[in-house]
Amino acid sequence: MAATLPPSRAQEQDLPLPTSEEVVKMAAFNVSTDVGRYHEDSSSMATKVATPMKELASSLQILNFNAITDRNATNLQDVYPYVVGMTQFQKQVNGFTFRGFPTNGALTQNVQYDGLQGSAALNTPSAANVESLEFLKGPNSVLYGQMQPGGLLNIVSKSPKSVQQTTIRTSIATYAGAYNDFGSTNSYSAQLDTTGPLGTGKHWLYRFIINTQSLHPFRPGDYDRGFFVYPSLTYKWSQETYLTVKLESIESVQRNDEGLLPVFGSTGSFGPTATYRIAPLNTVYQEPTDTFRDKGESAAAIFRSQLSENWLFRAQTRSVWHTDSTHFMSQTNGTINTSNLTLTRQYNLFKTGHRYNYFDTNLTGTMGSDNFHHTIVAGVGGGYEFSNTERFAFGPNVAPISIFNPILGVTPYPANGTRTSSSRVTFSSLGEYLFDQMRLWQIVHLTLGIRHDQQGSHGIDVYNPATSPYVHQFLAAETAQAGLVVDVTRQLSAYASWSQSYRPNTVTSVDASGRAGFPPERGEQFETGLKFQNADRSLFASLAGYEITRTNVAAATGTNLPTGQAIFRLDGEQIGRGVEFEAQWLPVPYWQVQTGFSISKTYISASIRNPAAVGMDLVNAPRQTANLWTRYNVPSGNLKGFGAGLGLIYVGKMWGGDPTTAIYFQVPGWTRVDGALYYKYKRYEFALNVQNALDRNYVSAPRGPRVLLPGDARKLTLNATVHW
């Protein structure tokens, strides 16, 4: 039976308006006891066709606008701990693991913006322009091309609306814990978001968002100042055909703080017996003038047209111009003297430029009968990247400082010119894909997909052409996936799926002999599970079991060539197995619950070069994680308009370092309690969020063998919002 295709939520959000936006609009003018739903009924990220969540043969978690704003997020890292199966280990946009596998690297394949890769910021983005976050678990190269196998994050940005709305949002935050007196370390942010039609015909729609922030973390002398602008414009020929253009300009500067330093004891630095000490969580080893600067601009266009009742055409592009520069004393590449407990830091100065140009276009059609119905997606996508990392100094080491009582601000920067390099890498890709989503007898949902990619890359260090000569690599890759969903009842479905991924290893990665050309990484996943949604859609729950196999992994050894270039090794195989549970529940219209847990093990399963590492856990891959967030609004009486929220986060112990080197150690697990108070009156909203309410001291994750990321101290954030 023919049916008009709905808009794709992963790529277009302006037609029709999402449920979350309708709730915000209503609350702007009324005292409401309802809580905006955290659950989204459908998404197009997993199939590029809007599909009910219960009919997806994969795990997909969405943090929508309500979930993000209820946590009073300034940056996206404020909500990452509430994602099942995700662990953040650094503040970069892709500095996290999915299902135990890392997503970081030279290329940001695992982070999408409205369905295309290319980040305008290296740091975790501001939440000001985020409508929702979609976390698709496991390999999904058929629809998205190159990626690491743990999963994809799609950041859905805000789009113009057809109804006039303006929002001003301000916040002030302060730390009030063991390391900071109340009011001594304050942060500020302000945001303007205005949208609506231009003229009377409502063919033109606009949105303009501006955000400024001056953040001061609890560690002394740290700061993060940013200024962000997001204009967008839509032209609607009709309800079925429109073009949206989105721009962004991002600029931030912060103190380059690497984190804490583990000092190992007499039991050594490898294995479960390894013990270490760290200085107090507010100890910093970087100079007050050590800086990291991040600047980027992007332009994106999304075109959508309903060609007929059965056929939909979509095309989108994204271009990014980005630079970042780092000037600091590095503890990562320094040396430690355990006898007198001093750290000798290494002077570093480098600048990196990125250029991304990506596109995706596809044609979606429906055909068949009620008993045998097809939704077919045929598309082509690809793009071009260029990066240039120019290193002006990689050393020398400077005068040592005390590990437990460092004195900063007295060590001058040495002259530049030590081990300079200019690594230039270009990368181009083109892929064709075909995806068929079938519905059989109204109760069986079968998906089949295939993709073919061709890629070319080359790299050279123009400052050292003799020791790092020109390298060229061409790659052709095929990936496939299949999924089956059976509606056991009207509320319960069972599913099973198989999917593949690939990721080209960086062309400039070399082994100990200086040779490049590692084969591409491969990923494969088998997943099965159950999904439940009750009749009134107030409860949605999913349970998934999976196994992911990753091969041809090029990993840094922690050592460098005489030129300073990092040496990589090739591991044979890594496996991740686990069980995940996730639920969103709305017991009554004024009470919302979101929760989940993960039990997993991700480890090295085969390694010819490092056989002793077989069976050891990957780093930043805790075996247990869990989280809970709930919000309640008072439904009646004198306290009507008030609400309260409670959050719990648990992360089990994990490993740091690298099991194939001399440093491999355990980091204890941790639990954090968050809370919030809310009040709504007409067009005004107020919120007081408390992060780490019990002021627990903890290390949130290891960031390499020489760096531990300290968890935030108790923080209070007061937010005031007005709508009109």
Tell me: the pLDDT tens digits for 518-545? 788 899 999 999 999 999 999 999 999 9
Tens of pLDDT along 298-346? 999 999 999 999 999 999 999 999 999 999 999 988 889 988 999 999 9
Give the pLDDT of residue 482: 97
Residue in the block written with tokens 């491999």:
664
Q: Would 582 be classed as within a structural domain? A: yes
Exposure pattern of 571-608 as b/e (b: 16+ CB <10 Å)?
bbbbbbbbebbbbbbbeeebbbbbbbbbbbebbbbebe
The span from the CA of 496 to the CA of 517, in Å, is 36
Q: Which residue has the higher pLDDT, 56 or 518?
A: 56
Main-chain phi, psi angles of 198, to 5 degrees: -110, 120
CB–CB of 514/508 below 8 Å?
no
508 pLDDT more than 80: no
The span from the CA of 601 to the CA of 596, in Å, is 17
Total of domains in the chain: 1
678 pLDDT more than 70: yes
Confidence of residue 37 (pLDDT cuts 50, 70, 90): confident
pTM over cut 0.75? yes
Query: Which range, of 261-275, 385-399, 446-460, 556-570, averages the lowest pLDDT?
Result: 556-570
Tens of pLDDT along 112-156? 999 999 889 888 889 999 999 999 999 999 999 989 899 999 999
Q: Would 165 be classed as within a structural domain? A: yes
Q: Would 453 be classed as within a structural domain? A: yes
Nearest to 684 by CA among 721, 643, 724: 721
Confidence of residue 408 (pLDDT cuts 50, 70, 90): very high
Specify the amino acid at residue 393. Answer: A
Q: Would 240 be classed as within a structural domain? A: yes
Alpha carbon 37 to chain centroid, angstroms: 22
> What is the percent of the chain where pLDDT is above 70?
94
Q: Would 295 be classed as within a structural domain? A: yes
708 pLDDT more than 90: yes
Which CATH number belongs to the domain containing residue 544 in this structure? 2.40.170.20
The span from the CA of 401 to the CA of 208, in Å, is 48
488 pLDDT more than 90: yes
The span from the CA of 484 to the CA of 497, in Å, is 6
Radius of gyration of the chain (CA): 25
3-state secondary structure 250-302: EEEEEECCCCECCEECCCCCECCCCCEECCCCCCCCCCCCCEEEEEEEEEEEE
Q: Would 9 be classed as within a structural domain? A: no
CB–CB of 48/143 below 8 Å?
yes
Give the pLDDT of residue 693: 97
Residue in the block written with tokens 């100065």:
349
19 pLDDT more than 80: no
Residue in the block written with tokens 């990665």:
509
The span from the CA of 722 to the CA of 398, in Å, is 51
Main-chain phi, psi angles of 21, to 5 degrees: -70, -35
456 pLDDT more than 80: yes
The span from the CA of 144 to the CA of 175, in Å, is 41
555 pLDDT more than 80: no
The span from the CA of 82 to the CA of 148, in Å, is 21
How is residue 151 written in tokens? 């999963």
Structural domain harbouring 625? 19-723
220 pLDDT more than 60: yes
377 pLDDT more than 60: yes
Nearest to 481 by CA among 524, 543, 542, 531: 524
CB–CB of 590/34 below 8 Å?
yes
Residue in the block written with tokens 């919120």:
687
Q: Would 2 be classed as within a structural domain? A: no
Main-chain phi, psi angles of 282, to 5 degrees: -95, 20
Helix (H, G, I), strand (E, B) or coil at 564: coil
Give the pLDDT of residue 349: 95
Q: Would 5 be classed as within a structural domain? A: no
